[in-house]
């Protein structure tokens, strides 16, 4: 059982470039989340999904888009990367609403935008 | 929106000393989860608290949920080097979102 898998693990982008981060879970979880982590800021929720075909905004959604076309996958897109988006990105999933079941995290993607 | 303050931001202790981190909310919480993140790793679920005044223990770790359900704490007795990491509280938001506190980074000097 792989759990939550994120690809890629590392990426360097130039300002203005685009990219997609992929998150895949094999636990049949309904809920999926994208967080970013910056020093001293904790984990901030970017977008989340409560089921296949649905997405919703979190605390810091600007500059990001997401899609949940399949239940097991949750994609995070950056259309025009900015240095402020340099961060570590974590994907997570949970069986039911995040308040009542644990979040399972992937290993993270370290993104640098120059 | 819901705000949560976690203190302290950093804590340095000598191995064997106790450690406590506090999570305070401006609003009443439905429940709260706690996570640990080792350096270079990802957050890992520790526990969930739901009931007012609830106390749960995991070996040397004691978790408490305040009577008013506006605060929570994690206490580690006799810290070990394996306790090093950042501890996050994560109160549940009614909108289905889990919002994390800023975390308390614990370092343990052997």
Q: Which of B48, B99, B102 minimises the CB distance to A41?
A: B102
Q: Which of A43, A104, A108 minimises the CB distance to B88?
A: A43
Question: Mind listing the pLDDT tens digit for each residue in B87-97?
Answer: 999 988 656 67
Judged by CB atoms closer than 8 Å, whether chains meet at A105 and B97 is answered as no
Q: Which tokens hold the place of B96?
A: 């289905």
A-facing residues of B in 2-61 (CB < 8 A) are: 6, 9, 30-31, 33, 35, 41-45, 48
Question: Mind listing the pLDDT tens digit for each residue in A21-42?
Answer: 999 999 999 999 999 999 878 8
B50/B33 Cα distance (integer angstroms): 9
Bridge partners, A35 (sequence order): A45, A90
* Predicted local confidence at residue A53, as pLDDT: 95
Q: Is B63 exposed, middle or buried (0-12, 13-18, 19+ CB in 10 A)?
A: buried
Share of chain B above pLDDT 70, in %: 95
Q: Which tokens hold the place of A110?
A: 């370290």
Give the end-to-end CA distance of chain A in Å, rounded to a whole number.
Answer: 36
B68/B62 Cα distance (integer angstroms): 18
- All residues at 6 or more sequence positions from A25 whose CB lies less than 8 Å from its CB, including other chains: A3, A4, A5, A32, A72, A74, A93, A104
Phi-psi group of A41: left, alpha or beta (phi > 0 → left; psi -120 to 50 → alpha; rest → beta): alpha
Question: Mind listing the pLDDT tens digit for each residue in B22-32?
Answer: 999 988 888 99
Nearest residue on chain A to B10, alpha-carbon basis: A40
> What's the length of chain B?
110
R_g of chain B computed on alpha carbons: 13
How confident is residue B98, by pLDDT bands cut at 50, 70 and 90?
A: confident
Nearest residue on chain B to A107, alpha-carbon basis: B42
Minimum mean pLDDT range among A40-44, A57-61, B52-56: A40-44
Q: Which of A42, A45, A107 minimises the CB distance to B97?
A: A45
């Amino acid at each position: 059982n792989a759990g939550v898998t994120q690809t890629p693990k590392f990426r360097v982008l130039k300002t203005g470039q685009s990219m997609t981060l992929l998150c895949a879970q094999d636990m049949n979880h309904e809920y999926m989340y994208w967080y970013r982590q910056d020093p001293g800021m904790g984990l901030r929720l970017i977008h989340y999904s409560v089921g296949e075909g649905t997405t919703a905004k979190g605390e810091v959604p600007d500059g990001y888009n997401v899609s949940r076309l399949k239940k097991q996958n949750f994609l995070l897109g950056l259309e025009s990367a900015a240095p402020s988006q340099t961060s570590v990105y974590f994907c997570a999933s949970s069986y039911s609403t995040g308040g009542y079941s644990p979040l399972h995290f992937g290993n993270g993607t370290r993104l640098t935008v120059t | 929106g819901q705000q949560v303050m976690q203190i302290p931001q950093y804590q340095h202790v000598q191995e064997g000393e106790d450690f406590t981190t506090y999570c305070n909310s401006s609003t009443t919480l439905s429940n709260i989860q706690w996570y640990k993140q080792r350096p270079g790793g990802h957050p890992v679920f520790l526990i969930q608290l739901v009931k007012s005044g609830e106390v749960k223990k995991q070996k040397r770790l004691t978790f408490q949920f305040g009577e008013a359900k506006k605060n929570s704490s994690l206490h580690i007795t006799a810290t070990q080097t394996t306790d090093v990491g950042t501890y996050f509280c994560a109160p549940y938001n009614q909108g289905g979102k889990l919002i994390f506190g800023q975390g308390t980074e614990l370092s343990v000097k052997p």
